[in-house]
C-alpha cells in the first residue's frame, strides 16, 4: 500500500476445559511465554522495566521482529511493522501459530484452548485487537479532520465484524462532553436488551468517539500521541474498536480499506457530508440491528444505510487511488464485491466475513439440533469459531472445506514466524534479535561491564535499542530497514 506502515496487536482468550482447574489462565499464559523464549528461543525477553505493569521478563521481541508479552494476564502478540497487506496478514497468522505450537509442545492442547476473539461470555470482559497505521505528522488530527474517519469506522463493521452471541452489559465509563468528563450513566445511556446475535464483538464496549485512555473508556479513535517513530515526521493512528478477525480476507480488507480512507483524508479527498449525529450510539445500533438494515442518522438529519455510506467512501477511493499499486486495486475490487453481496443474502459472504461465517454455522447448528439462541451451547460454539486449534476451530473447518479464501500460504506463514518483513525497520530489529540469540550467546552478554551495576545487557524498544558496550541506536524511520547499519553497529564496541 502507498506510504503506509501497518501493525496489529492481538490479545488472546485462554479457555480452560476443566470445572475445577489447578491453574489460572495467567499461569498457562506464562508457561506459553516461557516455552517460546526459554525453550524454543524464538526471541529475547526484556531485561528492563517497560512500565509499572511490565516488569523484566514479562515479554520480549521475537526473531520476526514482533513482540509477545502478557497484558493484564492475557497473551498479546504485536506484529512487526509491515508495508504490505500480504505481510501484515502473514505476520498476524504467524502470531497465532507461534502461540498454538507452544501450547501443543507443552502438552496442554486438551486442557486449554487459545481463543482469538474479544469477549468472555462468563465475566462480560473484553480484550482487544488494536490496529496501527502510520500517517504523516501533517495529518489533520482534529475532530473536524477526523470526522470522515469516524464515519467510516462506525460503518465498516458490516464487513469487519466477527459477530457474537448476545450482548454486553451497559458499560460503566466516563464520557467527554465538551470540556467536561462525566459518568456515562449521567447521560441516560440506554440499556442494552438481550440479543440473539450481533455483528461486532467490540461495539458494546466502545463508549467515546475520541479519548486518550485505553481501558474502560474505549473510543472510536484513540487520541494518544505515541508515534513510535520520528515525532516530527509521523503520527500513529491507534485504533481499538475493531474485532479480531479469523478470516484472512476480512483482515486484509479491514486494514486495506482503512488505509485508503486515511489516504483520502491526507490528500483532502474524503467525503465531507457524512458526519454521524451520535457515533457511539450508531456503532452499537448497527451491530445490534437484527434486521440488518444498518440505518444511520447524519448530523444533517439525513438517514443513510451503512452500505450506502461505505459505497460513498469506495467511490472516492476508486476515483483518487485506483491504479496506484496492485494491493490498492485488490482492495477496491473486494470492497465493491462485499458491499454488493451485503445487499443480498449474507450467506454469500461465508468464508470472507467473519460475522456472516459464524452466523451461518450457528444457524446450521440450531436447525439441526432444534435449539434456541439462549441454549448455552450457542455461546460455546461462538468461542469455538475462534479456536486456534486446527482440529477444533470452526473457522479452520471452513478452510479445510475450501469455503474460506486464502491470502497467504502455510509456507508464507511459517516464514513469517521466523523472519521479519524485508522492507521496514523490522528487518533491522530482527538482525539485532538474531545477534543476541546467536552471536554471542546470551550468557556472554552478562559478562560485559556495567559501570553502574544497573544497566541490563540490552534494552530494545520499537524505535531505539541499546546493547551494553555500545551507544544507543535510534531507528526513527519505519520505512528504512537499517540492516547494514545495525550490523555495523553491532560489530563496533565502545572502548
Enzyme catalytic residues? 71
| 121 φ/ψ sector (left φ>0, alpha ψ -120 to 50, else beta) | alpha
CA distance 199 to 342: 13
- List, as one string, the DSSP characters of 250-316: HHHHHHHHHHHHHHHHHHT-S-SS--BSSHHHHHHHHHH-TT---EEEBTTS-EEEHHHHHHHHHHH
Task: Give the residue among 185, 215, 305, 153 at the shortest CA–CA distance from 11.
Answer: 215
Task: Give the residue among 271, 319, 322, 276 at the shortest CA–CA distance from 297.
Answer: 276
Assess contact for 149 and 276: CB atoms under 8 A: no
Q: Which residues pair with 297 in a beta bridge?
A: 303
Task: Give the residue among 468, 440, 445, 472 at the shortest CA–CA distance from 455.
Answer: 468
Q: Which three cell numbers stand for residue 79?
A: 506484529
Q: Is 38 in a helix, a strand, or coil?
A: helix
Q: Which three cell numbers stand for residue 62?
A: 521475537
Pairing of β 180-183 and β 197-198:
unpaired
The H-assigned helical ranges of 137-200 are 143-160
Q: Is 82 in a helix, a strand, or coil?
A: strand
Amino acid at each position: 500500500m502507498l506510504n503506509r506502515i501497518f501493525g496489529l496487536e492481538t490479545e488472546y482468550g485462554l479457555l480452560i476445559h476443566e470445572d475445577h482447574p489447578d491453574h489460572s489462565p495467567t499461569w498457562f499464559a506464562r508457561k506459553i511465554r516461557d516455552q517460546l523464549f526459554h525453550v524454543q528461543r524464538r526471541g529475547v525477553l526484556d531485561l528492563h522495566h517497560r512500565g509499572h505493569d511490565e516488569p523484566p521478563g514479562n515479554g520480549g521481541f521475537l526473531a520476526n521482529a514482533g513482540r509477545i508479552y502478557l497484558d493484564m494476564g492475557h497473551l498479546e502478540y504485536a506484529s512487526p511493522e509491515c508495508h504490505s497487506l500480504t505481510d501484515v496478514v502473514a505476520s498476524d497468522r504467524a502470531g497465532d501459530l507461534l502461540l498454538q505450537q507452544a501450547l501443543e509442545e507443552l502438552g496442554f492442547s486438551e486442557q486449554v484452548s487459545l481463543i482469538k476473539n474479544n469477549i468472555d461470555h462468563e465475566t462480560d470482559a473484553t480484550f482487544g485487537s488494536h490496529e496501527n497505521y502510520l500517517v504523516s505528522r501533517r495529518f489533520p488530527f482534529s475532530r473536524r479532520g477526523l470526522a470522515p474517519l469516524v464515519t467510516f469506522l462506525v460503518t465498516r463493521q458490516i464487513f469487519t465484524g466477527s459477530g457474537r452471541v448476545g450482548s454486553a452489559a451497559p458499560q460503566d465509563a466516563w464520557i467527554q462532553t465538551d470540556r467536561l468528563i462525566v459518568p456515562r450513566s449521567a447521560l441516560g445511556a440506554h440499556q442494552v436488551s438481550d440479543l440473539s446475535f450481533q455483528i461486532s464483538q467490540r461495539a458494546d464496549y466502545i463508549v467515546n468517539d475520541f479519548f486518550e485512555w485505553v481501558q474502560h473508556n474505549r473510543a472510536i479513535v484513540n487520541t494518544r500521541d505515541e508515534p513510535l517513530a520520528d515525532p516530527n515526521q509521523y503520527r500513529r493512528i491507534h485504533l481499538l474498536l475493531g474485532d479480531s478477525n479469523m478470516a484472512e480476507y476480512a483482515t486484509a480488507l479491514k486494514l486495506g480499506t482503512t488505509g485508503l480512507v486515511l489516504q483520502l483524508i491526507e490528500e483532502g479527498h474524503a467525503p465531507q457530508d457524512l458526519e454521524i449525529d451520535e457515533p457511539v450510539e450508531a456503532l452499537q445500533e448497527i451491530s445490534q440491528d437484527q434486521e440488518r438494515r444498518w440505518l444511520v442518522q447524519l448530523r444533517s438529519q439525513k438517514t443513510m444505510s451503512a452500505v450506502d455510506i461505505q459505497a460513498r467512501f469506495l467511490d472516492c477511493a476508486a476515483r483518487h487511488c485506483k491504479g496506484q499499486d496492485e494491493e490498492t486495486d485488490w482492495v477496491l475490487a473486494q470492497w465493491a464485491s462485499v458491499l454488493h453481496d451485503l445487499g443480498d443474502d449474507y450467506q454469500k459472504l461465508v468464508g470472507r466475513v467473519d460475522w456472516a461465517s459464524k452466523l451461518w454455522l450457528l444457524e446450521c447448528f440450531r436447525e439441526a439440533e432444534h435449539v434456541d439462541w439462549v441454549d448455552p451451547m450457542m455461546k460455546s460454539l461462538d468461542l469455538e469459531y475462534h479456536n486456534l486449534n486446527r482440529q477444533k476451530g470452526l473457522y479452520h473447518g471452513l478452510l479445510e472445506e475450501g469455503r474460506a479464501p486464502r491470502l497467504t500460504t502455510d509456507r508464507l506463514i511459517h516464514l513469517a514466524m521466523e523472519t521479519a518483513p524485508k522492507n521496514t525497520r523490522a528487518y533491522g530489529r530482527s538482525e539485532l534479535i538474531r545477534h543476541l540469540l546467536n552471536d554471542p550467546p546470551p550468557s556472554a552478554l552478562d559478562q560485559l561491564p556495567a559501570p553502574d551495576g544497573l544497566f541490563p545487557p540490552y534494552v530494545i524498544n520499537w524505535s531505539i535499542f541499546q546493547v551494553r558496550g555500545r551507544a544507543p541506536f535510534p531507528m526513527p524511520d519505519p520505512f528504512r530497514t537499517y540492516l547494514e547499519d545495525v550490523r555495523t553497529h553491532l560489530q563496533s564496541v565502545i572502548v
